[in-house]
Amino acid sequence: MPLIYLAVAALAIGFEQLLQMRYGAMGLIAFLALTLGIKARNTMIGGIGAVILVMLLAQSG
């Protein structure tokens, strides 16, 4: 079981690094807001993070 947690943590850190490399600090902030919103079950913070991520993805496409 700890191996699964380690693998998930490694994937999350890798995704954060990729996101920051491609979309900069705003992408990292949006991802953190989305993650915190989901964990805290706060739809406002999660929604703000999701909207920022969508705007960043739409801008680059």
pLDDT tens-digit map of 11-59: 988 888 887 788 888 888 888 898 899 999 999 999 999 999 899 888 8
Q: Report pLDDT for 22.
A: 83
Could you list the residue range(s) of the whole structural domain that residue 19 is in?
2-60
Count of domains forming the chain: 1
pLDDT tens-digit map of 5-16: 898 889 988 888
Q: Report pLDDT for 44.
A: 95
Q: Report pLDDT for 19.
A: 77
DSSP line for 8-60: HHHHHHHHHHHHHHHHHHHHHHHHHHHHHHHHHT-HHHHHHHHHHHHHHHHHH
Tell whether the model's pLDDT for residue 3 goes beyond 90: no
